[in-house]
Amino acid sequence: MRIAIRAFAAFLIALAGPVHADETDIVLKEAAGRDAVINNCGACHSLDYIKMNAIFLDKAGWDGEVTKMIKAFGAPIDDADARTIASYLVANYGK
């Protein structure tokens, strides 16, 4: 009996098809450096962190976040992109 119930439950799950979380795409402000942010930052984590932290971070804060991602978490971002990313974040999401 348990096998039949499990088989039926598996059938219903398969029949339902893929399930997607109720998420919306994060749209960042259009400005110079946006592509560097999307390509580098978005490769490892959701871009909603940018908007969530915007109320807290000024230039020093964003510079520190970019540095932390590279030095502490090993983000493979070169110096030129790091400067571009930090400049974009300060200009568009800085406190």
CATH entry, 23-93, from 3.10.20.90, 1.20.1440.60, 1.10.760.10, 3.40.50.300: 1.10.760.10
Give the pLDDT score at 31: 98
Collect the ranges in the chain with pLDDT lower than 50. 20-21
Asked if 89 and 62 count as a contact pair (C-beta separation under 8 A), the reply is yes
pLDDT at 11: 60
Q: Give this prediction's pTM.
A: 0.74
Task: Give the chain's radius of gyration (CA, Å).
Answer: 20
| Phi and psi at residue 47, to the nearest 5° | -80, -5
Closest CA to 85 of 23, 43, 25: 43
